[in-house]
Amino acid sequence: MSQYENFAYIYDDLMDDVDYEMWVNHIEKIIKKSGSSVKNILELACGTGNITIPLARKGYDIAGVDISYSMLDVALSKSEEMGIPLVLLEQDIVELDFDLYDLDCVLCACDGFNYITEIDDLKKVFAKVYELLKKEGVFIFDISSYYKIKSILGNNFMGESRENLSYMWTNYFDEETNLIDMELDFFVKVEVEDDEEDNLYERYREVHHQRAYEESELVTLLKEVGFRDVEVFGDFDLEKSKENSQRLFFMSKK
């Protein structure tokens, strides 16, 4: 089973404790700090649109790209329900086929790049982003830090049991390759009319593969493809990242 198929339809439920408003405000603070004038944004790995929709609502002209049809399907339903039209493209960002140049900003939020497990592929993405941006354009992304993947997610088991949804999440981290396999087993309550059949659940399984990147590795990669003024902030602060920052925000300019 590939990544983000059935999982796409429970993703927003599982992320219901994430403060996306704060996330979007933080992205705007980084845009401001960059000094770039941003009206249009290309968002890579946009998922169900949790960042895309609020940014569109704030008036940015935004397009989202994601490899998962199902994640985009959820994004589209939400945008239609809210009356916020979105441009969504189903593509692998490693092979990004996009030819609108001179973009103000390219964004990738919440682990999109952790899913790119080959460093050469990530370099290819960075080079394409550089090509697409206008001069002075800003590239912003955030990832789960090496510290978080190794020490928090590591080889841990997590689980939760809710009324309509339960899951078991088992991780295997390989320090040699810096790759983490995440096995997700989830049980979704089946909606039935009959009260007697009220405890039927469907079981799904997906295995997600991510890579833990060192901050210095990514800074080098950004500079190699031409980016300048590279800065890395820890968690949701505009301060330099620390050893135990779990989320790293990268800002760089063309």
> Is residue 42 involved in binding ligand SAM (CB under 6 A)?
no
Minimum separation from the CB atom of position 198 to ligand SAM (A):
31
User: Within 85-104, which residues bind ligand SAM (CB under 6 A)?
Assistant: 92-94
> Is residue 54 involved in binding ligand SAM (CB under 6 A)?
no
Of 69 and 172, nearer to ligand SAM (C-beta) is 69
Instruction: Name the token pair of 220.
Output: 């080098």
Minimum separation from the CB atom of position 122 to ligand SAM (A):
10
Closest to 129 measured CA to CA, from 109, 92, 90, 101:
101
Q: Which of 36, 50, 144, 210 binds ligand SAM (CB under 6 A)?
A: 50
Of 110 and 132, nearer to ligand SAM (C-beta) is 110
> Is residue 109 involved in binding ligand SAM (CB under 6 A)?
yes
- How many residues touch ligand SAM under the rule CB under 6 A: the total is 18
- Residue 169 sits at φ, ψ, to 5 deg, of -130, 110
Of 109 and 188, nearer to ligand SAM (C-beta) is 109
> Is residue 115 involved in binding ligand SAM (CB under 6 A)?
yes
> Is residue 55 involved in binding ligand SAM (CB under 6 A)?
no
Is there a contact between 252 and 231 (Cβ–Cβ < 8 Å)? yes
End-to-end CA separation in angstroms for the chain: 38
CA dihedral of 69, 125, 212, 187, whole degrees rounded to 10: 0
> Is residue 46 involved in binding ligand SAM (CB under 6 A)?
yes
Which residues would be at the binding site for ligand SAM (CB under 6 A)?
4, 45-47, 50-51, 66-68, 71, 92-94, 109-112, 115
